[in-house]
Structure 1
Amino acid sequence: MPQTQQQTAVETPWWKTFYDDVAMAVLADQDPDVIRDQADTITRLTGLSRGQSAMDQCCGLGQHACELASRGVEMIGVDQSALYIDHAKRLARQRDLEAEFVVADALAYQHAPPVDVVYNWHSSFGYSSDDAWNQQMLHAARQSLRAGGAMLLEFPNMLHLLANFQTSISSTHPGGVSLKRTSRISASTGTLHQAWKYRMDDRSVRTHESSLRIYLPDQLIQMFRDSGFVNVNAVSPCGGTLAADSPRCVIVGSNPSDA
């Protein structure tokens, strides 16, 4: 989840307060089998193997980073939330894994030495309506990659989202947390706005708001190319051909071998 560097005065950096302890309870409620399948996709699309290095650009609670570390990958996880980085470190200790976790601004963080793979998973991109601001994250990712290294960006397939738009979704999570998420689209800014209403078992309520720039797969491909990546393609979350009815997509690119 990225921080901010230079944000326009009219746009609030919602992510600074969004990722709190309640959101953490929801994010922690992920099927371990799904995490393993997604790690399989990352390794399959990039060729990442034991002994190589990878950076999770917005690692959140560290589930993907720890899964890859368990496979012998040298992992670096980056996130703007100290709370979430602490959780990721605890998860690594519980699993007796070697992994590095850093509290940093993903828009600017550049790892040294460069890594073999950078990935950005689960919609941790496009938080601003300013395209140039969002693209800083791709620039930073490329600067952290070795020559010939691979970059993955996992993002909603907006073709599917727009065709199957739901204004309200409800879910329940461990710890007595229920969530109602309401959504609307701003046609003037091309942005998905969402209100997240959490109700706890003590009947207290907490509400957060978020926004996500609506990028179609071809627009993401162009942003990758504008950042200097080559061999850019959009695939399905399992690594196959991307179809319009796929809920999510993965953009794959390479740092030029002569970079």
Structure 2
Amino acid sequence: MTPTKSQTPSETAWWKSFYDDVAKVVLADQAPATIVRQVDTIVRLTGLSKGHRVIDQCCGLGQHACELASRGVDVVGVDQSADYIDHARQLAGHRNVAAEFVVADALEYQHPERVDAIYNWHSSFGYARHDAQNGRMLDAARHSLRHGGMMLLEFPNMLHLLANFQESIVSQHPDGVALTRTSRIAACTGTLHQVWEYRRNGQRVRRHESTLRIYLPDQLIKMFCDYGFDDVCALSPCGEPLTPAEPRCIIVGRNPSDG
């Protein structure tokens, strides 16, 4: 992220060390069937089909973008990490699909031509201290969408997280990588503070910290509305009505037909 009045240089630089080679192992450890199911949901909620154009905000390693491209959708993947964009391009070549990948800040990136849909997956939102800074991502998205185009934001369902809070979670991944994620809630600031400790073959190799705003579904809906989206709702990961039992949610909004 480019430093702004709302963010200090230290706040904008955290991702450069956070999304490194070890984190890439964890991000890559997603079952292909899971990616397919998630893309099925994206297609169902946006109405995307062959020939439509979509932006993948904060595309990471490009798994979702390449799956959509395999279905004939014109995909533009955007991410700040040049390393991840290189990986996404290699994945597209490996899968023999046509997809465009751009190194850019999703807070600012606007496509030169209006697109049919935009999606933001895997908690790539809410890392700034102030709502206005986080909202820039929604604003950039709306100004890239055609009239009537859809925006999807996939995010933790904080109703579930708060009711089922776990201070420590350990997960195992390929190449001998284990991730321990330790969390605490700062009630006064409404933020979730996390320490990510990566071990490889039992030896600690990385330690990162992150801070995520605790946005409840109704707060995300209001943010969408404040930035000009219509028909906003909160859904489950399968696209059904959201309940507190779901660990994650999808906020869906439409760019008004009258602009």
Structure-2-length-normalised TM-score: 0.97
Residue matched to 1:123: 123
* Paired amino acid for 2:203: R
Q: In structure 1, how many angstroms separate the alpha carbons of the residues matched to 2:84 and 2:169?
A: 25
Say which SS state the counterpart of residue 123 (structure 1) adopts: coil
Residue matched to 2:8: 9
Evaluate the alpha carbon distance shift between residue 10 and residue 4 of structure 1 in structure 2; reply closer, same or farther with a 3 A threshold: closer
In the alignment of these two chains, the number of paired residues is: 257
Once the two structures are TM-superposed, the CA of residue 129 in structure 1 deviates from its matched residue by: 1.8
Evaluate the alpha carbon distance shift between residue 114 and residue 10 of structure 1 in structure 2; reply closer, same or farther with a 3 A threshold: closer
Residue matched to 2:171: 171
- Unpaired runs of at least 5, structure 2: none
Q: In structure 1, how many angstroms separate the alpha carbons of the residues matched to 2:139 and 2:41?
A: 23
Residue matched to 1:155: 155
Q: In structure 1, how many angstroms separate the alpha carbons of the residues matched to 2:114 and 2:217?
A: 27
- The answer to whether the 8 Å contact 2:114/2:144 transfers is yes
Matched, 1:34 2:31: no
What percentage of residue pairs aligned between the two structures are identical? 67
Q: In structure 1, how many angstroms separate the alpha carbons of the residues matched to 2:182 and 2:199?
A: 14
Once the two structures are TM-superposed, the CA of residue 21 in structure 1 deviates from its matched residue by: 0.7
* Paired amino acid for 1:126: G
- Unpaired runs of at least 5, structure 1: none
Residue matched to 1:255: 255
Residue matched to 2:46: 46
Note the 1:93-242 alignment, pairs <5 A. Answer: 93-201=93-201, 203-242=203-242
Residue matched to 1:88: 88
Once the two structures are TM-superposed, the CA of residue 188 in structure 1 deviates from its matched residue by: 1.3
Deviant stretches of 4+, over 4 Å: none
Say which SS state the counterpart of residue 44 (structure 2) adopts: helix
- The answer to whether the 8 Å contact 2:155/2:248 transfers is yes
Compute the RMSD of aligned alpha carbons: 1.2
Once the two structures are TM-superposed, the CA of residue 49 in structure 1 deviates from its matched residue by: 0.7
Q: In structure 1, how many angstroms separate the alpha carbons of the residues matched to 2:45 and 2:8?
A: 39
Once the two structures are TM-superposed, the CA of residue 201 in structure 1 deviates from its matched residue by: 2.3
Q: In structure 2, how many angstroms separate the alpha carbons of the residues matched to 1:235 and 1:252?
A: 8
Once the two structures are TM-superposed, the CA of residue 73 in structure 1 deviates from its matched residue by: 0.3
- The answer to whether the 8 Å contact 1:54/1:73 transfers is yes
* Paired amino acid for 2:130: D
- The answer to whether the 8 Å contact 1:5/1:107 transfers is no
Q: In structure 2, how many angstroms separate the alpha carbons of the residues matched to 1:52 and 1:184?
A: 42
